[in-house]
Amino acid sequence: MSRAWDGAKLAEAIQKSLPDAVVDARGTDIWIAPRSVVEVMRLLRDDSEFRFELLSSVTAVDYISYFEVVYHLTSLTRNATAVVKSKCGIGRDEAKIPSVFDIWRGADLQEREVWDLMGIIFEGHPNHKRIMLWEGFPGHPLRKDFATYEQSIVPESEWRVPTALADELSAENGGAQGS
């Protein structure tokens, strides 16, 4: 049976090596400061007490006044799981957190997805591009202030028709209509 690390115990174990990294611990979760994400994750992967070889999931939640990045870690050696959270973007601006790409390659596509849909910048990610939506898409859809319908509809005045097609269309309409 897999064992979920107790938050308080995990926090205590981390504090032995990194005294000011852990901010809070409740239930099975711990909260760490965004600036110490890389150090904590490296410790969690390499230290023989933890051995979290597998980064199960990276995601983020928009709590209106701040964003929370959630990491789910799995250890195959110890058959254990842990939940690590980090608050960033307090007051909604400058949502930034260091990337864990260098620690787990598995963060690659997942962090790009979080950036694309939630708008959190992962500093140090080598290929920090949108993944599901196209570059230039207005906003980040999973944010709570993104209205599902209105915001994804581009007003007609801002439609961009390729120039050749626009010329063709205006020729068809007898040149009466501008592009």
Partner 1 sequence: MTTQVRTEPITVNLGPQHPSTHGVFRMRVTFDGEEIIDVEPIFGYLHRGSEKLAEERTYVQVVTLTDRMDYVGSMLNNQAYMLAVEKLAGVEPSPRGVWLRMIASELQRIASHLVAVGFLIQDLGAWGTPLIYTMREREKILDLFEMLCGARITNSYLRPGGVFMDAPEEFWPAMNAVLDELPPRIDDLDDLLTDNDIIFSRTKGVSVLTPEQMLDASITGPMLRAAGVDWDLRHRDPYDYYDQVTFERPLHTAGDNFARYWVRVQEMRESIKIVRQCEKLIEPGPVRPDHDDVPWLLRPPVGDAYAAIEHSKGELGFYLVSDGSISPYRCHVRAPSLINLTLLREMLVGELLADMFVSFGSVDINMGEVDR
Q: Which residues bind partner 1 (CB under 8 A)?
A: 1-2, 53-57, 59, 61-62, 70, 72, 76, 79, 81, 83, 104-110, 113, 117, 130-134, 141-142, 146, 148
The least distance separating partner 1 from the CB of residue 16, rounded to whole angstroms, comes to 25
Q: With respect to partner 1, which residue has the nearer C-beta, 17 or 79?
A: 79
Nearest residue to 66 via CA among 43, 84, 91: 91
Q: With respect to partner 1, which residue has the nearer C-beta, 81 or 170?
A: 81
Q: With respect to partner 1, which residue has the nearer C-beta, 14 or 55?
A: 55
The least distance separating partner 1 from the CB of residue 18, rounded to whole angstroms, comes to 22
Q: With respect to partner 1, which residue has the nearer C-beta, 137 or 173?
A: 137
As a whole number of angstroms, the distance between CA 96 and CA 90 comes to 10
Q: With respect to partner 1, which residue has the nearer C-beta, 6 or 108?
A: 108
The least distance separating partner 1 from the CB of residue 128, rounded to whole angstroms, comes to 15
The least distance separating partner 1 from the CB of residue 131, rounded to whole angstroms, comes to 5
The least distance separating partner 1 from the CB of residue 9, rounded to whole angstroms, comes to 19
